[in-house]
Amino acid sequence: NRLESIMIDNLCFFSCTCQTPYPYISSTSVEPSSVQAGQPFWIGVNYTFIGWPPFTVGVAIANYSLSTSFDLRINQNNFYQIEAFFGPFVIESPGVYNYTAWGTEVKPVSGNVTVLGGAPAQPQNGILNVAVLNGLNGSLLPARITVSTPDGLALIYSDSSTLSAQLAPGQYVVKVQAFGYTWASNATVYPGQPTNLTIVIPLAEVSVEALDSALGAPGAWDVAIYGPDGAVVAQGVGVVKAQLLSKFPNGTYVPYRAVARTPFGDYERQFYASAAQVVIRVPTVPVALSVVDRASGSIAPWNVTIYGPRGAIASGVGQLYLRLVPGTYAAVVRAVLNGVAYNYSAQLAVAGASPLQIVVPTTMLSIYVEHEGAGEPAIEVLYGGRPIYSGVGARADVEVMSGLSYVVVASYGGVSNATVVTPSSPHQTVVIKLVATQTTTTTQTTTITATWTTTTTTTTTQTTTTTTTISPPPQSTTSSTSQVPGSTTTTTWPTEASVILLIVVAVVIIILLLLAGRKH
């Protein structure tokens, strides 16, 4: 409050003067005279009174009401005037506003204030709520949510399924990033109101199965699902189930590629996530595989390993039941004969569900010794310089591997003879004659008259195998045909083997010398 002036006449009059008995408001004013919206202003009141006891003066405008009290205790026989200013008042909106000035024992006085347009009032914020949903089941879906201005200025983001933010009224752009792609939507925020925005990501439930055709069920093979960018989006064994993005943000379907990695190679299928079930069919067929000893014609208890393009597929002993994709496979059989292990390689041509055999080219050597005397001769068979068979008798049956060279030695009564045999047929007869002769010296000599025959059998049914260099899986191959025993024919030594014969004679002489030295 401000008291501008009080006019007091210190003179004391004893004469009687006629005066108005009641106070009154003589005038009001507004400062500043030009009022702007949002700016402060004051209202002044001029109050005239007689020096009575305490009194009150006030002003009311809009939602404001201010007043003040006075207790001047001055001479009651004179008039006095005060000017009181009330405020500050602040009105935000432009317009004409009425006010009322009042006081004790006076009639109220009205006036008005014109508030001109000024700084606009700050608008009230609104609330933006964003939720990202799984289009498959309506559940919340983790994603990155970003709220930006229309010109691209990012204001707030959330790495969650939801976002809630207080924002000034206006237009905003909401972007959602999920599965490597971005969805965008416009949102309008209103003062003091919530704006709810839901963005649904289109997903689909897909099951991918690698079907083993021969088994009629999923095979135990690795299965992977690749997205359009080549990245793995799901993987498993046999069957893979996954929720996949079904459509791009522009509404087109998303292509996928499913791959089953098998011992026979990769099998794949392309599909869209709109398909609920995807089957990768691996065209296997049932195969019964037997390892046959050619010399005996029976299934042999030998280990066999089957190799595909990615290495070993299966292994077993004697007879195997397999599921293979039609094609060519390598097989390695570990045949054990007379304590010697041989690795025999073959190729298997699988065309359908039919039995297959691997016929190992063995030979049964029937060794006969012709000698003079009633005793039993000794027979020894060597391979690679090491004995694989030793026995006593005029006859011995020894199973060996065809195509390899063996030395057969017979001895009796100080007489020895040897021959080199390279068998090729299932059965082969070797005859060794031991003939002792005397000379004029005490040195005993031996006449070498070794002979041998080769028996070849034929039959109406043949099984073709392929022999390869042993280095699993085999690389280079040489073909040979195995046959089942049948009729017998006799062949002679080839005329072009004269050089070989000389080598054989030399080997025999060395062996005889070694045997003679052993006896001495």
Instruction: Give the percent of the chain with pLDDT over 90.
Output: 57
Q: From residue 153, give the alpha-carbon distance in Å to each of 29, 128, 163, 170.
A: 50, 17, 17, 14
Does the structure show a pLDDT above 70 at 216?
yes
Q: What angle do CA 196, 201, 206 make, to 5 degrees?
A: 150
* Confidence at residue 57, expressed as pLDDT on a 0 to 100 scale: 85
Structure tokens at 463: 């099984």
Give the confidence band of 453 by pLDDT, cuts at 50, 70, 90.
very low
Segment 130-141 mean pLDDT = 95
* Confidence at residue 132, expressed as pLDDT on a 0 to 100 scale: 97
* Confidence at residue 498, expressed as pLDDT on a 0 to 100 scale: 42
Q: Give the tens place of pLDDT for each residue, 141-190.
A: 999 999 999 999 999 999 999 999 999 999 999 999 999 999 999 999 99
Segment 483-498 mean pLDDT = 32
Coarse DSSP helix, strand, coil percentages of the chain, rounded to the nearest 5 percent? 5, 55, 40
* Confidence at residue 303, expressed as pLDDT on a 0 to 100 scale: 97
* Confidence at residue 435, expressed as pLDDT on a 0 to 100 scale: 79
* Confidence at residue 36, expressed as pLDDT on a 0 to 100 scale: 87
Q: Is it true that the peptide bond before 191 is cis, omega within 30 degrees of 0?
A: no
Choice between 438 and 322, residue whose per-residue pLDDT is larger: 322
* Confidence at residue 82, expressed as pLDDT on a 0 to 100 scale: 79
Segment 359-386 mean pLDDT = 93
Segment 468-477 mean pLDDT = 30
Give the confidence band of 507 by pLDDT, cuts at 50, 70, 90.
low
Give the confidence band of 120 by pLDDT, cuts at 50, 70, 90.
low
Q: Give the tens place of pLDDT for each residue, 38-58.
A: 888 889 988 777 665 677 888
Does the structure show a pLDDT above 90 at 348?
yes
* Confidence at residue 237, expressed as pLDDT on a 0 to 100 scale: 97
Chain centroid to Cα 187, Å, comes to: 37
Q: What angle do CA 175, 181, 183 make, to 5 degrees?
A: 30
Average pLDDT of the chain, as a whole number: 80
Pick from 352, 353, 351, 333: nearest CA to 343? 333
Choice between 23 and 270, residue whose per-residue pLDDT is larger: 270
Tell me 496's DSSP state: G
Structure tokens at 224: 């992977």
User: Dihedral sign, CA of 213, 218, 222, 225?
Assistant: positive
User: Dihedral sign, CA of 153, 154, 155, 161?
Assistant: positive
Q: Give the tens place of pLDDT for each residue, 235-260.
A: 999 999 999 999 999 999 999 999 99
Q: What angle do CA 370, 375, 378 make, to 5 degrees?
A: 65
Segment 372-397 mean pLDDT = 92
* Confidence at residue 11, expressed as pLDDT on a 0 to 100 scale: 41
* Confidence at residue 315, expressed as pLDDT on a 0 to 100 scale: 95
* Confidence at residue 442, expressed as pLDDT on a 0 to 100 scale: 27
* Confidence at residue 464, expressed as pLDDT on a 0 to 100 scale: 28
* Confidence at residue 448, expressed as pLDDT on a 0 to 100 scale: 27
| Contact between 428 and 422 (Cβ < 8 Å) | no
Kindly give the pairing relationship between strand 222-226 and strand 436-437.
unpaired
Q: From residue 9, give the alpha-carbon distance in Å to each of 15, 46, 78.
A: 14, 19, 8
Could you give all domains of the chain from N- to C-terminal order, each with its CATH number?
24-116 (2.60.40.10), 126-201 (2.60.40.10), 206-282 (2.60.40), 285-359 (2.60.40.10), 363-434 (2.60.40.10)
Q: Give the tens place of pLDDT for each residue, 283-296.
A: 999 999 999 999 99
Q: Give the tens place of pLDDT for each residue, 184-208.
A: 999 999 999 999 999 999 999 999 9
Q: Give the tens place of pLDDT for each residue, 400-430.
A: 999 999 999 999 988 999 999 999 999 999 9
Segment 317-323 mean pLDDT = 95
pTM over 0.75: no
* Confidence at residue 89, expressed as pLDDT on a 0 to 100 scale: 87
* Confidence at residue 245, expressed as pLDDT on a 0 to 100 scale: 95
**Rg (alpha carbons) of the chain, rounded to whole number:** 59
Segment 309-337 mean pLDDT = 95
Q: Give the tens place of pLDDT for each residue, 62-77.
A: 888 877 777 666 666 6
* Confidence at residue 62, expressed as pLDDT on a 0 to 100 scale: 82
